[in-house]
Amino acid sequence: MPRVKTRKIVPTERQKRAVKELAENGSNKGAALLKAGYSKAMAVKPEKVIGSKGFKLAAKDLLTRLDKQIVMSLDRLEETLPEATTGEASSHLDRCVKTSQLLKGKATERKETSLSSLSTEELEGMLS
């Protein structure tokens, strides 16, 4: 039986720059792809890049770090919720969650939600 060669997936430099642009500037996927060097045609359909194996591989380490930061932010929120100042922790958590959603190719939540009103299950649902 002949062997089938498998091609090793290696992220391109543009995919790496796209991950960096999305992580740093967020929200507008198309603009991030243009800054990373992609064409206007690709910027119109960012899911083609974000859904690619190379992009996912390029984003893997960052997503792992973001997930750890999200857990740390949730822990900090749980500790500080009875106190008055949770703005900084909730703002950091919101940015981490939205960046994680963008890098996973998901839409980011645009609605205003008080984090203290969300259950742990709802917060975890935002991450998956």
Series of mean pLDDT values for 10-residue runs along the chain (128 residues): 79 94 83 94 92 93 88 75 61 79 75 54 59
Closest by CA position to 59, among listed 100, 1, 2: 100
pLDDT at 19: 92
Q: Helix, strand, coil: what percent of the chain each, to 5? A: 65, 0, 35
Find out whether 29 and 15 touch, Cβ atoms under 8 Å: no
pLDDT at 119: 58
50 burial level (CB within 10 Å; 0-12, 13-18, 19+): buried
Helix (H, G, I), strand (E, B) or coil at 52: coil
